[in-house]
Amino acid sequence: MTHQSLLLGQTLHFSGNPLTDSWDETVHIDSAGGVLIEGGHIAATGPAAKLRAAHPHAQVTDYGDALICPGFVDAHVHYPQTAMIASWGKRLIDWLNLYTFPEEMRLSDPAYAAKIAGRYLDLTLDHGTTTVCSYATIAPHSVDAIFEAASTRGQRIVTGKTCMDRNAPDGLLDTAQTGYDDSKALIDRWHGKGRASYAITPRFTPTSSADQLAALGALWAERTDCLMQTHLSEQVDEIAWVRDLVPHARDYLDTYEEHGLIGPRAVFGHAIHMTPREIDRLSETGAAVVHCPTSNTFIGSGLFDMAGLAARHIPIGLATDTGGGSSFSMLRTMAAAYEIGQLRGTPLHAAQLMWLATAGSARSLHLQDKVGTLSAGLEADITVLDLASTPAIAQRATTANDIWDNVFATIMMGDDRAITDVWVNGQKRA
């Protein structure tokens, strides 16, 4: 008989998109639910009593009032920046030159790259994140390092070699040809192997010439099953720089579009200061954007328009953006997304925030058929949240009107102490 694990507790379920439909009709919590795991996948969900009766030999873990939810999905990170997270006081361009590029140079040492990859994934697992989409550096071994580290932990991972052939230190530059060749070799080595997926990764237009963007566009046309990830309209001075570098372009997005780097499997990080044409094109092509709220406030980028972009049915993910973001925690990221929504007059409900951190991010990465929901047939990546993990949160729970009050308090005040357990590919993390 195949081993079965039955997790009991309050279970979080999605039946639709709460950004475009009513949250109370699309997000539900079963106060006495269960999740049956078999062979690394979710075999069934439903009322605890029915699952117990139907599967009497399953190994039961009863989490009581804890919330059993999909593992968090972080849709835009830079694992090489792990060691320099929370570096003080600079905006994007100076921040890259003073902090990011020097640290990424250190990953030219394969041993250091492996060390940081393992450290990053362990930190994210500590915070309940089971899937990440990360940039690497220009060094192919930095891609190998994060794929290998994820494989040993059983994690689902999307990553790619960061391509840059201008406006960066010599030690971080490749060429249009080597960017293409290295990326193609890495795709052949890793894409679709186990739980690994590849994202073709030009860092952004300021560091990729037209020749390099064209080469990567050609590669993507050959390998349409890969994602393409890059940055878009993060800061106003960045946009001005792009305008100076590519004066003929209609806008920032056009610098990618003219080289074939737009489409339903494109993922654009930040996307704050966009023109109406750019928003129209994202909506028309099905490209996704990723909200990075702690990063957007930490380096002073701006306020993402969640409500406006959701109304255009643009897929939206949520991300920590390590290390421009100031936390490895998707709980802290959800809290920041709520605060930015408040500043825009469109605060998000706890149900919407939880969807963004799980199903929404999975959808933005085209992984919705693998992770992001507690649905039968999906991979068993599960995070269990203690909704009274600290005295401050516990005392707030005593005045909660309903379960969503409890969830919201954990979103706003929780951290890694709220993570009771993490299950990765059907295995409980030790």
The whole-angstrom separation of Cα 172 and Cα 210 is 18
Domain ranges in the chain? 4-71+373-428, 72-364
Query: By C-alpha distance, which of 426, 389, 321 is closest to 65?
Result: 389
- Is residue 419 within 8 A of residue 69, CB to CB? The reply is no
SS3 at position 372: coil
- Is residue 76 within 8 A of residue 267, CB to CB? The reply is yes
Total-model pTM? 0.98
The whole-angstrom separation of Cα 240 and Cα 93 is 12
pLDDT in tens, the chain (430 residues): 689 999 999 999 999 999 999 999 999 999 999 999 999 999 999 999 999 999 999 999 999 999 999 999 999 999 999 999 998 877 778 888 898 999 999 999 999 999 999 999 999 999 999 999 999 999 999 999 999 999 999 999 999 999 999 999 999 999 999 999 999 999 999 999 999 999 999 999 999 999 999 999 999 999 999 999 999 999 999 999 999 999 999 999 999 999 999 999 999 999 999 999 999 999 999 999 999 999 999 989 999 999 999 999 999 999 999 989 999 999 999 999 999 999 999 999 999 999 999 999 999 999 999 999 999 999 999 999 999 999 999 999 899 999 999 999 999 999 999 999 999 999 999 8
The whole-angstrom separation of Cα 259 and Cα 349 is 38
Say which CATH superfamily domain 72-364 falls into: Metal-dependent hydrolases (3.20.20.140)
Both ends of the chain: CA-CA distance in Å? 24
Query: By C-alpha distance, which of 246, 259, 300, 294 is closest to 77?
Result: 294
Candidates 2.30.40.10, 1.10.3210.10, 3.40.190.10, 1.10.10.10; CATH matching 4-71+373-428: 2.30.40.10
Residue owning tokens 């516990």: 394
- Is residue 67 within 8 A of residue 384, CB to CB? The reply is yes
The whole-angstrom separation of Cα 366 and Cα 326 is 26
- Is residue 237 within 8 A of residue 93, CB to CB? The reply is yes
